[in-house]
Every structure is written in C-alpha cells, then in structure tokens.
Amino acid sequence: MADTDAITLYDYWRSSATYRVRIALNLKGLRYTQKAVHLLRDGGEQHGAAYRALNPQASVPTLVHGERVIRQSLAIVEYLDEIAAPSLLPAAPLARARVRELALLIACDVHPLNNLRVARYLEHEFGADASARERWMRHWMAEGFRAFEALLAADGATGRCCHGDAPTLADACLVPQVYNARRFGLDLAPFPTLSRVADHCLTLPAFDAARPENQPDAVA
C-alpha cells in the first residue's frame, strides 16, 4: 500500500461506526491520523459547513487517503480490505456471505435504530426522556442480538471469533455494538456466544487499542 501516512480518520471516540474502522485499521497495522469531530459540542461539529463539505451526511466516520474521501464505515473497511492485508473477509464465497450477513445485521438493522440522530429525534419530536430513549435502545439491541446469537450458536463455523478463529468484518461490527449494549445496561446473559466472542476479541491488541476509552478525544 502506498503512502500509509496519508490516512486520516475523522472520528468521534464513542461512535460505534468509527470504532469499526479503528479496529480494521489496527488489525491491518496501518498508521493513521485521527481528527476528532465532536458530535455533541456546540450542537455537533459534524453540522459545520467545513465538515459537511467533506461529508454531506454530517456523520462519522470519514476516511481520507491521499486525495480520496470515503464515507460509510463498511465501505471504508472494504476499501481497506482491498489495499492492505490481512483480509477481514474469508476467501470462500459462502463464508464471505456469512461474514457479511452478520456484519450487516449489526450495521443495518441494529445500529441505525440506536444512533445519536435517532435518540435526538425521539427526544425533540416525541418528548422521550432519557429513560424512555434508553428503553428504546435496549429493545432494538436485544432484538438484533437474539438473531445474532442464534446465527452464531447454530453454525459450526463460529470459533473464537464470529467466523473461525481470526477476526473478520463481523467482529469489527459486533464489538462496538456490545460496547453500546453494556453502556446502556442491556442484560447480555441471554447472548452467551456473542458475549464470548466479543470478550475474546477485546483481548487482542487491535481491538483493545480501538476501545473508545483509549481514544485521544475520550472523555472520562
């Protein structure tokens, strides 16, 4: 890969989408510069004109590599997969489909219902207080985790990680969502397989370094 020093990640320490990208960058041993975009300060720095020019969705992550700008966490991870080893997708087509299935379950079905924009809309449009918003989040995480747990537990391809014993795109999506679940007090006892996988991944240096609390913009 050419000029790895030119990678910049626009990031927010608690963003689970950027957490996925940090995991991928770390697993590949790529050096990168983080630029914090505070999603809460002054109404959210992501809404500023300069950042909107870079990412019209006013969201994180945004990855800049040289003159290339890539948005959306899974697009970023798959781009990184195409330019640097190790691959986070298996070689066999059916195995790749399984990993993508698991990753998309989190990224498309669970996470969008739990992100900051949804929580703010619930508060401002429907008057949902903090307790109601957290119940909403726990409900939709539990719904998704029930399916995720069943898919892991029923398949012999599950190993120490979601697929086999090496981390994949599925693990990069699961671990940040488990962080959110723990943050909002979801009981993980009904999900022993996915909890075991997430806990194993967090013993790996690439995942540990990507933890929200280990980021330069983290707030105690």
- Summarised one tens digit per residue, pLDDT across range 82-117 is 999 999 999 999 999 999 999 999 999 999 999 999
Work out the pLDDT band at 21, boundaries 50, 70, 90: very high
Per-residue pLDDT at 1: 46
Provide φ and ψ at 10, rounded to 5°. -80, 120
Per-residue pLDDT at 94: 98
56: pLDDT strictly greater than 70: yes
In this predicted model, what pLDDT tens digit does every residue of 184-199 receive, in sequence order? 999 999 999 999 999 9
| Spatial distance between the Cα atoms of 160 and 207, rounded to a whole number of angstroms | 14
3: pLDDT strictly greater than 90: no
Work out the pLDDT band at 63, boundaries 50, 70, 90: very high
CB 194 within 8 A of CB 128: no
Per-residue pLDDT at 220: 76
**DSSP character at residue 10:** E
Q: What is the mean pLDDT of residues 134-147?
A: 98
Q: What is the mean pLDDT of residues 65-81?
A: 96
139: pLDDT strictly greater than 70: yes
Per-residue pLDDT at 14: 96
Q: Higher confidence at residue 4 or residue 78?
A: 78
Alpha helix ranges (H) inside 84-201: 93-104, 116-126, 130-153, 169-183, 192-201
| Claim: this prediction has a pTM higher than 0.85 | yes
Q: What average pLDDT does the structure give for the chain?
A: 96
Work out the pLDDT band at 5, boundaries 50, 70, 90: low
Q: What is the mean pLDDT of residues 48-64?
A: 97
- Burial code of 48-84, b = ≥16 C-beta within 10 A, e = fewer? eeebeebbeebbbbbbbbeeeebbbbbebbbbbbeeb
